[in-house]
């Protein structure tokens, strides 16, 4: 009996570990996609296209494509999903666009070299909010804090390097 | 200058809190539906802001730029944001947010390759720090 139980526990542990590794891989792919699009957006802005207009077009096309790709799952929405879940995702979208709007406003009145180090603080802000609001589900260890701080300092350095 | 700093801090808080709400929403919702909902909300807010600030006429852009923006849209949202949401769901906010922040590394790398931007000491040190940070986050087993 015991050996069977231990085996099951082991399997669930391995699955959980793989899930986290897959999640981190997705984060790196996502970060790379964001980086590539940041570079392309910069080239578009050089053509005197208003940033909010450019982002709106990109958002619209991205949304349409994602809807087309997931049309089946949208047609058959799963039952027992609390309304709060939908509201949280909508608020997440509003917060993301709010971030973009405020960044455009900040860049409008101050040079990049002043503003970009503050934008780079995002991982530390996120970790602080995680400690406050997601205590039950997400643990922020010392190693993650140190890693995030190094990333933030690195991003600030890259900002200065690009500006020069 | 202080106004700009406040706006920049609000931007950072907006992006940071977005991840928290994503995590909460994806506890119950499939990633695809969560991503689509967030994209629709983002589009409504930003398109409204663009119309208010620049007017409808600013939406008339050259067709080539339009195609480029469609391509950027594919890279940034169905790939970027979808992967972002998947990572938050699978690895949690604490692990995914530092890894997602590696974006400037890719952006500056592409600038060096395609626009002849010069590699300097700041870019070198920054790259080293980001890679070290990523290794620390990825190697965290707890």
Chain B residues in contact with A109 (beta carbon < 8 A): 3-4, 7
Quickly list DSSP for B29-62: S-HHHHHHHHHHHHHHHHHHHHHHHH-GGGG---
Confidence of residue A131 (pLDDT cuts 50, 70, 90): very high
Q: Check whether A120 has a pLDDT greater than 70.
A: yes
Report the chain A residue with the minimal C-alpha distance to residue B133: A147
Give A80-117 pLDDT, tens digit per residue.
Answer: 888 999 999 999 999 999 988 888 888 778 877 778 78
Query: If you average pLDDT over residues A9-29, what whole number do you get?
Result: 78
Token pair, residue B85, equals: 């949401």
Check residue B17 and give its pLDDT.
Answer: 94
Query: If you average pLDDT over residues B37-44, what whole number do you get?
Result: 95
Query: If you average pLDDT over residues B77-97, what whole number do you get?
Result: 92
| 8 Å CB contact between B90 and A20 | yes
| Percent of all residues in chain A with a pLDDT value above 90, rounded to a whole number | 45
CB neighbour class for B121 (10 Å; exposed up to 12, middle 13-18, buried from 19): exposed
Check residue A2 and give its pLDDT.
Answer: 38
Chain B residues in contact with A140 (beta carbon < 8 A): 94
Choose between A161 and A26: higher pLDDT: A26
- Cα separation, A43 vs A59, in Å, equals 17
Quickly list DSSP for A120-161: TTHHHHHHHHHHHH-TTT----HHHHHHHHHHHHHHHHHHHH
**Looking at the complex, does the CB of residue A145 fall below 8 Å from at least one CB of chain B?**
no
Query: If you average pLDDT over residues B72-93, what whole number do you get?
Result: 93
| Percent of all residues in chain B with a pLDDT value above 70, rounded to a whole number | 99
- Spell out the residues 6+ positions from residue B101 whose beta carbon is closer than 8 angstroms to its own: A31, A120, A122, A123, A148, A151, A152, A155, B130
* Mutation for A interface: B59, B101, B131, most A CBs within 10 A: B101
* Mutation for A interface: B1, B55, B98, B139, most A CBs within 10 A: B98
**Looking at the complex, does the CB of residue A112 fall below 8 Å from at least one CB of chain B?**
no
Q: Check whether A13 has a pLDDT greater than 90.
A: no
- Cα separation, A26 vs A30, in Å, equals 6
Report the chain B residue with the minimal C-alpha distance to residue A91: B21
Token pair, residue B121, equals: 């000491």
Chain A residues in contact with B138 (beta carbon < 8 A): 24
Tell me the shortest Cα–Cα distance from A3 to chain B, in angstroms.
25
- Cβ neighbour number for residue A4 with a 10 Å cutoff: 8
Q: What is the mean pLDDT of chain A?
A: 85
- Would you call A59 and B100 a contact, using CB atoms and an 8 Å cutoff? no
Report the chain B residue with the minimal C-alpha distance to residue A135: B94
Give A25-72 pLDDT, tens digit per residue.
Answer: 999 999 999 989 888 988 888 888 888 899 999 999 999 999 999 888
Tokens 């089946």, residue located: A72
Q: Check whether B21 has a pLDDT greater than 90.
A: yes
DSSP three-state, residue A121: coil
- Spell out the residues 6+ positions from residue B1 whose beta carbon is closer than 8 angstroms to its own: A110, A114
């Amino acid at each position: 009996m015991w050996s069977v139980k231990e085996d099951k526990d082991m399997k669930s542990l391995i699955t959980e570990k793989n899930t986290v590794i897959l999640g981190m891989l997705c984060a790196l792919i996502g970060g790379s996609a964001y980086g590539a699009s940041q570079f392309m957006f910069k080239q578009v802005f050089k053509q005197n296209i208003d940033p909010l207009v450019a982002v709106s077009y990109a958002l619209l096309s991205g949304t349409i494509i994602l809807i087309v790709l997931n049309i089946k799952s949208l047609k058959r929405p799963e039952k027992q999903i609390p309304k709060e879940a939908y509201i949280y995702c909508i608020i997440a979208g509003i917060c993301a666009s709010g971030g973009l709007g405020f960044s455009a406003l900040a860049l409008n009145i101050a040079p990049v070299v002043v503003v970009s180090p503050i934008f780079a603080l995002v991982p530390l802000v996120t970790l602080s909010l995680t400690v406050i609001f997601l205590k039950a589900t997400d643990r922020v260890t010392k190693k993650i804090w140190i890693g995030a701080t190094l990333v933030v300092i690195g991003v600030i350095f890259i900002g200065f390097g690009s500006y020069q | 200058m202080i106004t700009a700093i406040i706006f920049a801090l609000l931007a950072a808080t907006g992006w940071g809190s977005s991840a928290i709400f994503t995590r909460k929403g994806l506890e119950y919702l499939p990633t695809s539906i969560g991503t689509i909902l967030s994209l629709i909300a983002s589009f409504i807010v930003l398109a409204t802001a663009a119309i208010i600030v620049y007017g409808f006429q600013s939406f008339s852009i050259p067709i080539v730029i339009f195609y480029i923006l469609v391509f950027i849209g594919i890279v940034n949202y169905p790939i970027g944001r979808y992967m972002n949401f998947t990572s938050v769901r699978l690895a949690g906010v604490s692990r995914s947010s530092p890894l997602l922040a590696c974006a400037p590394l890719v952006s500056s790398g592409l600038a060096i390759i395609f626009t002849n931007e010069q590699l300097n000491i700041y870019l070198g040190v920054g790259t080293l720090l980001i890679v070290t940070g990523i290794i620390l986050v990825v190697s965290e087993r707890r």
